[in-house]
Chains A and B, each alone.
Chain A
């Protein structure tokens, strides 16, 4: 029965009947021993779908989004390709460079190493959500002041990691900043300036 449902799945998951069908199929396929109440639970109780499309709900930069995604889609690709939030950069796409760093429930993570479906119900903050309208975040201001750029490709990831580094309490010294920024690999000459910017914001005691 499970297989039959899977085989019938097709990419045209957009109409309402289809959604209802898929919602039931995951309940049957995935939660076969769950209480029957789950079959009629609220939409946000869990990601709903099968091997082709799953419906999820995310809070992205303070906006609630309901999305239908292929389970193979990473959070990074969802942000860039589906939502046009291209501030988050794809560098290595294998979890090694830090260019795709975003905050999930307030903690920095690599969006290329997580499937979007796994983020259901979570709060995501990207570099676009860091500023308050036209008012830059204090660390963005400090990056401008200290020229923490070169080509700039790594900058969004550096900013997200830099804010986290301060929030985590690891921005007490240049040595500690370097250690806790080491997940953002950038081969350009911006490092000393990025370190200066982070230390300045930490020292100013501004809420980040």
Chain B
């Protein structure tokens, strides 16, 4: 591992100043992904800014929203009463991810920035457009069983060829996408707010960029607006073993049901695209209808029309469709 300078700021302003526009500076919080990447040589910061001592751990409800500090630990967020009562979908997604040890280390801000688990990205001997732009995509003709089935351009007049088939790995981000979370960031130009749908990127040209964060920007908090989904939401994760594995496919489903009818619906999918995949049509298709398996099947198959499989992951199209139906049934309580 390349030597680095270790810095420990006490304020957000100090941290942002330390990072400046130095591309060789990186913030570190839990380190559960960054240290892994440094050990493998995928990333080699010259300056490591340890932000763990910044006052960004608070979880609170104010102004009709839950605000979670970027340094709140995944385990603390998942177990917090506010989250379990107001946003249980988020708690479920967090508990579906990683392990007890990792959730004790990983932070909300870091979770938003975790990088793909595509094996070509981690193996320096193999081509990867995300790690080394222009080197090619090993997964395209290689092992792509776990890779993407939705790409930029899907559903908007055709399927653009993607330079990267990797999927975004986070469970938390799938729930946050369904819940239309706001990400609060601070940088050289001060504070700004980014909607979750605009935070991560799809890829055609620049797969090395996972997010739309600007150089030096630091995530300080996330905010989830109050909603009426707590009684009818479900995070369904499908993986190769019962626990502690990344999702093959995951579904965050949130419904508002009153008087036997669905009045509002949100859905996001994980493990299927370069970013958490928001299923935009689900609200229009479900609104005003009575929940039923037949309806949910129609909704699922509608979305899967724009999916595109690679050689080894055709099974994911049927799997995702079934997972959408199962998650909606569990959310609606009709299983």
Contact = CB atoms under 8 A, between A and B. Distances in A.
Interface of A: 6, 26, 29-34, 46-47, 49-52, 54, 70-72, 74, 93-95, 98, 101, 107-110, 113-115, 117-118, 161, 164-165, 168, 170, 178-185
A182 B8 contact: no
Nearest to A100: B101
A14 B40 CA distance: 30
Interface string B71-93: 00001000000000000000000
B228 interface: no
A183 B8 contact: no
A113 B30 CA distance: 9
B1 interface: yes
Contacts of B48: 71, 115
B243 to A, nearest CB: 4
Contacts of A168: 100
A34 B10 contact: yes
Contacts of A113: 31-32, 35-36, 102, 105
B100 A95 contact: no
B3 interface: yes
Given A6-B5, A117-B6, A183-B102, 12 more contacts: A29-B5, A47-B8, A51-B4, A71-B48, A94-B40, A108-B100, A113-B31, A115-B6, A118-B28, A178-B242, A182-B99, A183-B244
B52 interface: yes
Contacts of A114: 31, 35, 105
Contacts of A109: 101, 104-105
Contacts of A98: 99, 101
Nearest to A29: B5
Given A113-B31, A118-B31, A93 B39 contact: yes
Given A33-B14, A46-B8, A115-B31, A72 B101 contact: no
A153 to B, nearest CB: 17
B270 to A, nearest CB: 19
A195 to B, nearest CB: 13
B6 A47 contact: yes
B244 A185 contact: yes
Contacts of B205: none
B4 A72 contact: yes
A79 to B, nearest CB: 15
B7 interface: yes
Contacts of A101: 101
5 contacts: A29-B5, A49-B6, A74-B35, A114-B31, A115-B6
B1 A72 contact: yes
Chain B interface size, under 10 / 10 to 19 / 20 to 34 / 35 or more? 20 to 34
A72 B3 CA distance: 7
Nearest to B5: A51
A183 B100 contact: yes
Contacts of B211: none
Contacts of B104: 107-109
Interface string B196-214: 0000000000000000000
Contacts of B9: 30-31
Contacts of A49: 6
B164 to A, nearest CB: 23
Q: Which 7 A-B pairs have the closest CB atoms?
A: A183-B99, A182-B243, A182-B244, A30-B7, A71-B6, A51-B3, A107-B104
A162 B31 CA distance: 23
Contacts of B32: 95, 110, 113
Contact of A161 (B3, B35, B101): B101
B21 to A, nearest CB: 16
B17 interface: yes
B98 interface: yes
A135 B7 CA distance: 41
Contact of A51 (B6, B10, B18, B28): B6
Contacts of A71: 3-6, 48
Contacts of A183: 98-102, 244
Interface in B16-45: 17-18, 28, 31-32, 35-36, 39-40
A182 B245 CA distance: 10
B301 interface: no
B50 interface: yes
Q: Kindly name the residue among A34, A168, A182 whose own CB sees the greatest number of chain B CB atoms within 10 A.
A: A182
Q: Kindly name the residue among A115, A164, A170, A184 whose own CB sees the greatest number of chain B CB atoms within 10 A.
A: A115
Nearest to A108: B101
Contacts of A117: 6, 50
A51 B44 CA distance: 13
Contacts of B39: 93-94
A146 to B, nearest CB: 21
A180 B98 CA distance: 10
